[in-house]
Amino acid sequence: MNFIQILILGLVQGAAELLPVSSSAHVIVAEKLMGLDPSSPENSFLLVMLHTGTMFAVIVYFWNSWLDHYFTDAKRLGDTIKNIVAATLLTAIVGLTLKLIIEKIFMHGQAKAEVEQLFSYLPLIGGALVAAGILIIFSGSSEERWPATGKIDVVKASLIGLVQGFCLPFRGFSRSGGTISAGLLLGIERRQIEEFSFALAVVLTPFIDVYELWRLIKAHPEVKFGQEFVKLLEPGLAGMVCSFAAGYLALKLLSSLLEAGRWKYFGYYCLVAALVVFGLAYQESAMAADKSLQPVSTIDHSSPVAPAPAPSTNAATLPPAPLPVMDTSSPATMQPASAQTNTDAPAPAMPTNATPADAATNGAPAPTPAPAQQ
């Protein structure tokens, strides 16, 4: 991965992370368009480091508001801690349970099965975007009719954490979109649920960072701590800086639209983004089908075909000559089988006036001449 790719991913992540449009879906689509594998440990870790950059942007942006609303007195600080702990516990329970269900049941308990392997599955991302868009539109429309003015308590915080847990395994279901929509439906005032949602992100992100760092180290056991390890982290650190800058600007846009009552517009955007993702998924499947129909050539055209070796005239490679066959009619002589006569066949009849020389030329033994009459 080169610096230009890291810069693009950092800007995409930072701009979309703090908007309820699923930054993960945008980053995964961008990675696919650049020919990268979103499910690899390297890219999963890069994605988390991009989240970390936007987390620092959240801290800088909301720090003064958190000081005013959460740290003014001991009671308010205690209530805030209880709400955050309750929401985070529900998130961990639901998120880990879904992770185990997906890996053990839907992925059939395959060896080294991880829910992160689904991060590159575009139809699932498109479906999650549709679900998030519908939720955002519904909550925004409801909030327009019945403006929320309530406060956050432990019960409401737990329900918000429950929704956040459902968002974790599914890229495309925006965490901020889900939590803020849940808060609006529970009657929580806009600014309060916005601050609480991103406070949950600050608490949750370090745990996810540690998990993805562990996956990265496990995928590269040959890399030891030191210069090689720092080099392995360089893409994530560079992307974190880019996402911080883009995230801070995105937060300003989010706050202005949310406080102006235009929350549902993000839902419409999610539906449009889902159509784009479904289109990319169809194109990807069509390309895979065309590739599978192409005949597979077994000839390696990358290297010239070696000419067949010329037939050798070496005597060692010639077939052995036929062995001579013993002529049973004459034990003292040996002749090749091709010249052997059939001794079992009867000798041709001799004419009465045949001479011994004629008999010899016909292949029969010459008759012994009779002794002369005395």
Distance CA 66, CA 77 (A): 10
Position 331 scores a pLDDT of 47
Position 338 scores a pLDDT of 43
The tokens of 232 are what?
Answer: 């392995």
Burial class for 148, CB neighbours closer than 10 Å (0-12, 13-18, 19+):
middle
Burial class for 283, CB neighbours closer than 10 Å (0-12, 13-18, 19+):
exposed
Position 90 scores a pLDDT of 93
Position 21 scores a pLDDT of 79
Distance CA 336, CA 322 (A): 8
Position 196 scores a pLDDT of 93
322 sits in the region (left: phi over 0; alpha: psi -120 to 50; else beta) called beta
Nearest alpha carbon to residue 57 among 266, 263, 241, 258: 241
Tens digit of pLDDT at every position of the chain (374 positions)? 777 888 888 888 777 777 787 777 787 788 878 888 766 766 767 777 787 888 888 889 889 888 888 888 888 899 999 999 999 999 999 988 888 887 777 666 565 556 656 666 788 888 889 999 999 999 988 877 877 778 899 999 999 999 999 888 787 888 889 999 999 999 998 889 989 998 998 888 787 777 767 766 776 666 566 566 667 677 777 788 888 888 888 888 887 777 777 888 889 999 998 998 898 888 878 887 777 776 655 555 555 555 555 555 454 445 555 555 555 444 444 444 444 444 444 555 545 455 544 544 444 455 555 554 44
Distance CA 125, CA 84 (A): 28
Distance CA 327, CA 80 (A): 117
E-assigned strand segments in the chain:
325-326, 334-335
Q: Please count the other Cβ atoms lying within 10 Å of the Cβ belonging to residue 81.
A: 11
Rg of the chain over all Cα atoms, to the nearest angstrom: 43
